[in-house]
A = this chain, B = another copy of it.
Amino acid sequence: DRQLYSAQHDEILAGATTDIYFIRTMEILEHMNLAHTEVVAEIFARKPGMLAGVQEVFNILADKNVEIWSLKEGETFEPKETIIRIKGSYDEFGKFETVILGCLASSSAWATAARECKEACNGKQLLCFGARHVHPAVAPVMERAALVGGADNASCILGAKLFGKEPSGTVPHAAFLIAGDTVAVAKAYDESMPVSDPRIILIDTFKDEAEEAVRVAEFLGDKLYGIRLDTPSERGGVTPALVEEVKARLCKAGFPHVKIIVSGGLYPEKIRQLAQAGVDSFGVGSYISGAHPIDMTMDIKEVNGKPIAKRGRIPGIIDNPKLIKVK
């Protein structure tokens, strides 16, 4: 009995998630003896962005008899630019339109949002923390796309591994709330984690952020890599002034090298300001995970070698010198 609503790989590859009307289409074309019509289809978007998810598209079409031209994973595209071109018999790939477009739409949006944040970081670190905002089935898709976009690491275990990285994150409030004291958790963390693991301690669970940061620094001394500020909106969120104050107090207490990691409600403009204030690392969740999909469209542009298009489009192939033939 089904535990989760998400589709499994075999279901997807079998076409169970496709729009019913592509099934209808095949039945009608069969009826008209047109199922094997040779077509060229092109995929484009109406907004600019960074492309992600292409390997999934290639995998879906791996065993189909089609030719494919494509932009590269991580390449940027403009509105109406041809992103992928598929040539072959319509029945080879037609019913996968829904699936193919779906693989590109969200991933490209996530990669594009991560790119925006990474540029705002101005050289500082960007970590993706957004897995909790999307269905677990696509948490790894999202975090992998964020890494394509330029994030330095991701916290979702599977997502990081898909990109060939070790997942990265630090201890959340739950641990502190259960332990009842920040320094106690810092101690346990230091005792139980490998020495190579950077000690980053979340310090806004109980006490004033600067006070707790100094307490933890005094306890861990040089072993403290950084502290994480996650001040909630009820308390004003993390402001440049707060960052400057915490750094100043750590400095005055003799700990100038403690790094500052910030998370919570971050978006590019805020990242820019906090980077200037001295933050070293940004954990972004919602700005990436909630990025509106870059809706993709697949149009048939050639039928039996003849240029064609539906009303509103330009008939025939829209050339794009950046395309590389992948199949």
| Residues of chain A having any CB pair with chain B under 8 Å | 2-9, 11-13, 15-25, 27-32, 34, 37, 39, 41, 53, 56, 59-60, 62, 90, 94, 97-99, 101-103, 105-107, 129, 131-141, 144, 155-160, 162, 167-180, 184-185, 188-189, 191-193, 204-208, 210-211, 231-237, 239, 241-242, 244-245, 248-249, 252, 285-286, 289-290, 292-293, 295-296, 299-300, 303, 307-316
Contact = CB atoms under 8 A, between A and B. Distances in A.
A308 B159 CA distance: 33
Given A22-B172, A156-B98, A311-B232, A107 B135 contact: yes
9 contacts: A4-B13, A4-B103, A18-B136, A21-B170, A21-B172, A24-B170, A94-B174, A245-B309, A290-B295
A211 B205 contact: no
Contacts of A241: 233-235, 312
Given A177-B309, A210-B311, A234-B312, 9 more contacts: A3-B62, A19-B129, A19-B132, A19-B167, A20-B169, A31-B188, A180-B303, A235-B239, A290-B293
A29 B314 contact: no
Contacts of A244: 314
Contacts of A138: 6-7, 134-135, 137-138
Contacts of A29: 175, 178-179, 188
A213 to B, nearest CB: 13
A211 B215 CA distance: 16
A175 B31 CA distance: 12
Contacts of A23: 157
Nearest to A153: B20
B204 A28 contact: no
Contacts of A102: 131-136, 139
Contacts of A20: 155-157, 160, 167-169
A28 B171 contact: yes
Nearest to A155: B19
A25 B171 contact: yes
A28 B285 CA distance: 24
In the complex, which of the residues A41, A105, A193 has the most CB atoms of chain B within 10 Å of its own CB atom?
A: A105
A96 B314 CA distance: 40
Contacts of A107: 5, 135
A241 B204 CA distance: 16
B300 A293 contact: no
Given A205-B311, A290-B295, A90 B24 contact: no
A36 to B, nearest CB: 10
Contacts of A162: 2, 5
Given A99-B136, A138-B135, A24 B310 contact: no
A312 B245 contact: yes
A-B pairs with the 9 shortest C-beta distances? A236-B236, A232-B312, A21-B169, A234-B241, A234-B312, A20-B167, A31-B192, A137-B137, A19-B155
